[in-house]
Structure 1
Amino acid sequence: MLKRMVSRNVKACVLVGSATAVAFIAGKYYERNTLTVHLSPQPALPVFGSVSAAQDACSLSAKTSFLDRLLSKNVWSIEAASPLTENGNPQIVPRNSSRISQIMKYGYPSLDNVISYNDYILSYDRRNKVANWVFEHLTAESVKGNEKVDRSKCNFVEAQHVHPYFRSRNSDYKGSGYDRGHLAAAGNHKACQQHVEETFYLTNMAPQVGKGFNRDSWNRLEKYVRKLTKRYPNVYCCTGPLYLPKKESNGKMYVKYEVIGSQHVAVPTHFYKMVVGENQDGSLEMECYVMENT
């Protein structure tokens, strides 16, 4: 009697398992042969090591989805929750191109600790507590200014989106003899109060010699870059620090640089700025500058 009951249970399990397998295979066959998937490119941030630091209250770019801020420069994606049309195909939901994809149109210099703000992107060096590079997209409209924008309301802010171990602090600069020098210039982002305020995050700062450099030659270069928007409809600017070797008295080359504050914020020996002007016909012209931090 017991053997018969066990035999019946085994047969029932086999029948249920077989039915499930047949249903799964049939469903897969139907899906592959009846569902047409529509793919569309969605540019945005690199998947790995990226942080979106803020939401834009100044433009429609704030309405772009989280996916636009997370996925790679040009990846293929599908709206998984899109309703099906009468013919069984997913409905394609149009999206506005994100501000990020405009700024990073020609690619990323590197993918190390990328942080996106509303009007510029940077790669952050957690060891030196200074950005590796900062990328901007400038137009005549974006640098024109807005009478409602008031720079005097801006304060230097520690980046709460960076771990405390790796962020610079205002106290690091106090008494150091160095300015908190902008990499993405505040004057490049005057179209909106939020945009100019975000240039005051310390992730966008580097220790710069004040008189003679930050307040003079570096400032003149920033103004020159803004003037290029009168010549080119689109100007792309990449700015960052350099730590260049110097020959010592023994004839050998050494990389040496000062660090300031309790967080040991690195003082760059030089700064670079690469500027690409995009003409109406799509042709490009480039200028490069390296300036000593003195």
Structure 2
Amino acid sequence: MPAFKIIDNTCLIENEQERGEMMLKSNLQSDPKSNLQSYPKSNLQAYNSDYEGSRYDKGHLYPHCHAPDEETSKSTFTLTNTAPQRCDFNRFWYSKVEAKVNKALTTCVAAKKTPYVVTGVVPDTGSNPLTLKKDSQVNVPTHFWTAYCCCDNNDKECQFGAFILEREADEPDEFKTSTAPPRRQGAAARSDPRRK
């Protein structure tokens, strides 16, 4: 489970999702069109079988609803793009966060501005971390979070937003700013010790 994922709308994966299961990168290497390298099976990788009999969904980090096209949407269905979410949490996260972020990004692109998104989880690091099921190595994160900004093309005006939702909560915390002050590159350059 990655701690965070920077969302990039490029796609290297060209296989389709099979039988409703998430794809493993190791399963995709047989595709001659794939740019993925071959790696041995690992106990650090989650598998579909880890989720069987658990009470958790495979929650997307990069949501397929943010994908700009079908090919990119398909690429979101890998287990390296998921983290465990309770079924009701998955619905809350979609309706209260992903849908709002998607609307903000759509507005951003329509205004010919540039969107940036980073999303991730907070792993459970307690003395007895919650896992998918007994004897599982798959950690259930304590929080899901996402942050985004929408900048004009000269990067002088940006709008920022962020959400974080605790795994047992029903409502996310939302953070928003309307604009950021212009960057002061001259002051930053003068304070850089590498510059004279």
TM-score bracket relative to the smaller structure: 0.5 to 0.7
Call closer, same or farther: CA 1:196–1:155 in 2, change over 3 Å. Answer: farther
User: Which structure features the higher share of helix residues?
Assistant: 1
Report deviation, 1:263: 5.2
Q: Secondary structure at the match of 1:231?
A: helix
User: Aligned letter for 1:187?
Assistant: C
Residue in structure 1 matched with residue 173 of structure 2 by the alignment: none
Give me the TM-score of the superposition, normalised by structure 2: 0.63
Residue in structure 1 matched with residue 131 of structure 2 by the alignment: 259
Gapped regions of structure 2 (runs ≥ 5): 11-15, 27-37, 169-196
Report deviation, 1:260: 2.4
The superposition leaves residues 53-77 of structure 1 with CA deviations (integer Å, 9 ceiling, x where unpaired) of: xxxxxxxxxxxxxxxxxxxxxxxxx
The separation in 1 between residues aligned to 2:153 and 2:68, in whole angstroms, is: 24
Call closer, same or farther: CA 1:163–1:241 in 2, change over 3 Å. Answer: farther
The separation in 2 between residues aligned to 1:162 and 1:195, in whole angstroms, is: 23
Q: Secondary structure at the match of 2:24?
A: coil
Report deviation, 1:162: 5.0
Q: Which of 271, 281, 286 is the aligned partner of 2:144? A: 271
Gapped regions of structure 1 (runs ≥ 5): 1-129, 143-149, 246-253
The separation in 1 between residues aligned to 2:68 and 2:19, in whole angstroms, is: 13
- 1 or 2 for the larger relative contact order (CA 8 Å, sep ≥6)? 2
Q: Which of 192, 208, 216 is the aligned partner of 2:92? A: 216
Residue in structure 2 matched with residue 119 of structure 1 by the alignment: none
List aligned pairs for 1:237-252, cutoff 5 A.
237-243=117-123
Give me the TM-score of the superposition, normalised by structure 1: 0.44
Residue in structure 2 matched with residue 201 of structure 1 by the alignment: 78
Call closer, same or farther: CA 1:219–1:203 in 2, change over 3 Å. Answer: farther
Residue in structure 2 matched with residue 168 of structure 1 by the alignment: 46
Larger Rg: 1
The separation in 1 between residues aligned to 2:79 and 2:122, in whole angstroms, is: 18
Identity, in percent, stands at: 24
List aligned pairs for 1:175-190, cutoff 5 A.
175-190=53-68
Residue in structure 2 matched with residue 235 of structure 1 by the alignment: 115
The superposition leaves residues 113-158 of structure 1 with CA deviations (integer Å, 9 ceiling, x where unpaired) of: xxxxxxxxxxxxxxxxx012111257xxx9xxxxxxx989864112
Call closer, same or farther: CA 1:201–1:217 in 2, change over 3 Å. Answer: closer
Residue in structure 1 matched with residue 166 of structure 2 by the alignment: 292
